[in-house]
Amino acid sequence: MNQASLECRHISLSYGTTPVLRDIDLRIEPGEFFALLGPSGSGKSTLLRLIAGFNQHQSGELLVDGQDISGVPPHLRNIGMVFQNYALWPHMTVWDNVAFGLVERRESRDAMRRKVGAVLDLVGLAQYARRRPAQLSGGQQQRVALARTIVIEPRLLLLDEPLSNLDKQLRVQMREELKNLQRKLGLTTVFVTHDQEEAMTTADRMAVLDKGILQQVGTAAGLYDYPHNRFVAGFVGTANLLEGEVTAVSADTLTFHARGLGPLALARPAEPPAIGPAALAFRPHQVSMRPRGEPGDGARVWLDGLVESAEFLGEFSRYRVRVGEVALTSDQPHYAGRGMFAPGAQVRLGLDPAQLRYLDR
């Protein structure tokens, strides 16, 4: 398979007077497994369809291996796309569904026999070649759709919510199979999802979109640990956000005045934020939790609070704790024999200054 690069240069698209994509500037490397992540209406599927040629941007350039394909019709782009509903021909066998693109390209019988056989072996469906889609499970139908797409040896593989029609257990299995297949083929792949777990466990890198704007691009760990703004902090994982203002920065300390909570004296980070409005973000699992009165370590900033609710989620328990006028979330690992804090319990929450992130937008 070819390993093509993909580049969006300042792409914008509007439907009438409604902007859908706004100045998208993005590069996807050859052989990369890349995710477009965002909520419904963020523009991620529109961007995927634009790459395929089903949507047309009003400004900007779309380059594959450095060549602008903006004016090239879909059938001449040699880009494969797997749709959310798989779009298999119900009256055709698995073999005929997979061979369809080769028939359209007028490949020889020998070439079709060789290529279809090889790709069915690759996705583990050789024994189902004579069955029809209705005789297959959801996961098997997805493999047929993948096989039909990769058999034409596309330059790029596009996946539109590829796992959304599967139950949770099968989604976990299929995303691992999808990742292994992509690694084996080395095919540059772009997939759309609204499921952050799906993106974080499969993609080499991802782009987060909201309201047609590219919010941040990076690895899963990079976006999770160092979000650029409030939206990314809240969308990639779960985050506590304290709105407020940085009021003072010295050689060793920083004062953050949290709305509804008051001033917090914190260790000065290596790259301190500017004085002015900001938000303080931190993850629930980074919040230590102890009974009121029990001493805490000096490395953390400790806040007194009251447990409002407690949920047992198996591997951890999630607490909603009222601190001043603010409700914070704390996730604590579960161990057999260790009791939970009950609603109404007086507790202390410990914040690790090294895990706090200052966001100015």
One of 2.40.50.100, 3.30.2290.10, 1.10.760.10, 3.40.50.920 is the CATH number of 238-359, namely: 2.40.50.100
> What residues does 18 pair with on adjacent strands?
15
Mean pLDDT of 63-91: 90
For the chain, the farthest-separated pair of C-alpha atoms sits apart, in whole angstroms, at: 80
Q: Give the model's confidence band at 1: pLDDT under 50 very low, under 70 low, under 90 confident, else very high.
A: low
How far is it, in rounded angstroms, from Cα 125 to Cα 254? 60
pLDDT for position 204: 95
Q: Over the stretch 292-321, which tens digit does the pLDDT of each residue have?
A: 988 777 789 999 999 999 999 999 999 999
pLDDT for position 227: 95
Q: Give the model's confidence band at 219: pLDDT under 50 very low, under 70 low, under 90 confident, else very high.
A: very high
The yes-or-no verdict on residue 287 having pLDDT over 70 is: yes
Burial of 3 (0-12, 13-18, 19+ CB in 10 A): middle
Q: Over the stretch 163-204, which tens digit does the pLDDT of each residue have?
A: 776 777 777 877 888 888 888 888 999 999 988 888 999 999
Q: Give the model's confidence band at 325: pLDDT under 50 very low, under 70 low, under 90 confident, else very high.
A: very high
Mean pLDDT of 209-226: 96
pLDDT for position 297: 77
Return the CATH fold of 6-234: Rossmann fold (3.40.50)
Q: What one-character-per-residue DSSP string does 23-39 give? A: EEEEEE-TT-EEEEE--
The yes-or-no verdict on residue 361 having pLDDT over 80 is: no
Q: Give the model's confidence band at 95: pLDDT under 50 very low, under 70 low, under 90 confident, else very high.
A: very high
* pTM of the entire predicted model: 0.88
Q: To the nearest whole number, what is the mean pLDDT of the chain?
A: 91
pLDDT for position 178: 84
The yes-or-no verdict on residue 84 having pLDDT over 80 is: no
Q: Give the model's confidence band at 124: pLDDT under 50 very low, under 70 low, under 90 confident, else very high.
A: confident
Mean pLDDT of 220-235: 95
Residues of the chain with CATH 3.40.50.300: 6-234
How far is it, in rounded angstroms, from Cα 359 to Cα 242? 10
3-class DSSP string for 212-256: CEEEEEECHHHHHHCCCCHHHHHHCCCCEEEEEEEEEECCCEEEE
The answer to whether residues 160 and 84 touch, using CB atoms and an 8 Å cutoff, is yes
**Phi then psi dihedrals of residue 345, to 5 deg:** -70, 140
Mean pLDDT of 92-99: 92
Q: Over the stretch 12-21, which tens digit does the pLDDT of each residue have?
A: 999 999 999 9
Higher pLDDT, 106 or 231: 231
Lowest pLDDT segment from 117-131, 163-177, 204-218, 240-254 = 163-177
Cβ neighbours for 78, distance < 8 A, ≥ 6 positions apart: 152, 153, 154, 155
How far is it, in rounded angstroms, from Cα 331 to Cα 242? 17
Q: Over the stretch 242-282, which tens digit does the pLDDT of each residue have?
A: 999 999 999 899 999 999 999 999 999 988 999 999 999 99
Mean pLDDT of 77-98: 88
pLDDT for position 240: 97
Q: Give the model's confidence band at 2: pLDDT under 50 very low, under 70 low, under 90 confident, else very high.
A: low
Cβ neighbours for 220, distance < 8 A, ≥ 6 positions apart: 199, 200, 201, 203, 206, 236
DSSP 261: T
Residues of the chain with CATH 2.40.50.100: 238-359
* Best CA proximity match to 198, nearest among 318, 36, 43, 51: 36
pLDDT for position 259: 94
**Phi then psi dihedrals of residue 142, to 5 deg:** -65, -40
pLDDT for position 85: 76
